[in-house]
Amino acid sequence: MLKLMESFRLMTNICIRTGLENDASSLKRLSTLSYKQLREFQIPSYYKLCAISKATGILAARKKSIKRGHRTRNLYLRKPLLTTCYGFRLVDQKLLIPIGLSDMATVPLNPHTVEVLAESNVTVRSFTLTPKSFSLSIRKDVEPITRLTGLVGVDRNLNNLTVGNRVKVTYYDMSKTAVVAETTKSIIRSFGRNDARIRLALTGKYGERRKNRVRQLIHRVSKQAVENAFRDKQAIVFEDIHEIRRLYRKWNWQGKGYRARMNDWPFHEAKRQVEYKAAWVGVPVVTLSRSETGGTSRVCPRCGERLQSGKELRRKLWCQRCRELFDRDLVAVLNISRRGRFTFERSKGVGFEAMVQEPDAGTWPKVILKVDPTKLTHRHESAN
């Protein structure tokens, strides 16, 4: 297997070099130019086709980077690997990989993988094998949920993930992710090695450990959030905060420790995991634009007035018109879920007036914004 992975790496590099010499980045032209050069490799022919496809993807990414004005390095595949979508078979909880004309290598599958592949609507499309890892690319035909009962907004914070609407709000504790990040940084700072190579290797080792621990913590939270949305037949609404790191830069009158904590905040990983888990079970996910989610934490969910904040209030906000104190995370999810409904209905072609909501009968009461505010009823639940 190691010899086959090394041969695949060499074939990919030959195709990359051929593409660079002839300025070829399409699959058809690269196949015509480089297929004859791969005759010396005595391996199944579909591995050659996959090597050409791999090289085509690398060359296409380089071409796109050049168009965007980014600098590119010399292209070549460094690590041995093997990837294909032909020839393999699944037999008795094992993957059979052809390594010759009649020889097959066996890769055992763990119980979780076997359980997922046992579903009737799941098919294996390809696999990628390296000396240290093995991954399967699978496809699942999912029936999306059509009869939704509502939407839930998701507010991402450093120490918690808040999911809910005006019926129910759930707080998921994610403070341990910040603890893991701070612990890892303190360990790395304690290294006193004079050899930079050893220090770099240790830093990479602890950085990988930190990434895995944070992903596992987010996995538990995202799994529970998607399961609740699927059970209640609700869509999930996110706000667009991809440029939030601009708020935590040097010379922004913030402390170094505070900027470090906020820049370590894995807000994108939480959204990524929720999105792919929701797609796996057919739960719709809506991402609002920046203009649609402006001021979600500053506008009263009852009357629409701007909320007042202060150091003595901490994470609480005060509405002068309603004369009531609100939690900042609660305000955010209520506004996100409400605005998400407008976007979701607009995407389906449902018309409504600008100031009057026309929700489904029996599910959402009629609301006239800033004129007839509904009674804010919610239930807080803590989930660790």
% of the chain residues with pLDDT over 70: 89
How close are the terminal C-alpha atoms of the chain, in Å?
A: 43
pLDDT at residue 364 in the model? 39
Whether the predicted pLDDT of 371 surpasses 60: no
* pLDDT band at 357; cut points 50, 70, 90: very low
pTM of the model as a whole: 0.75
Pairing between β-strand 169-173 and β-strand 380-383 as defined by DSSP bridges: parallel
8 Å CB contact between 381 and 171:
yes
% of the chain residues with pLDDT over 90: 33
pLDDT at residue 128 in the model? 93
Domain coordinates in residue numbering, the chain: 2-80, 83-140, 150-177+216-383
- Which ranges of the chain would DSSP assign to H, the alpha helix? 2-22, 27-34, 45-67, 111-117, 175-189, 196-232, 256-263, 267-281, 328-347
pLDDT at residue 214 in the model? 94
- Measured in degrees and rounded to the nearest 5, phi and psi for residue 65 equal -65, -40
- Over residues 28-56, the mean pLDDT reads 91
* pLDDT band at 352; cut points 50, 70, 90: very low
The DSSP output letter for 168 is -
* Bridge partners of residue 84, in order along the sequence: 127
The topology under which CATH files domain 150-177+216-383 is Nucleotidyltransferase; domain 5 (3.30.420)
Nearest-5° angle of CA 181, CA 187, CA 191? 140
pLDDT at residue 311 in the model? 67
Question: Do you know the residue count of the chain?
Answer: 384
H helix or E strand, kind and range, residue 125: strand 122-129
* Bridge partners of residue 306, in order along the sequence: 299
pLDDT at residue 348 in the model? 60
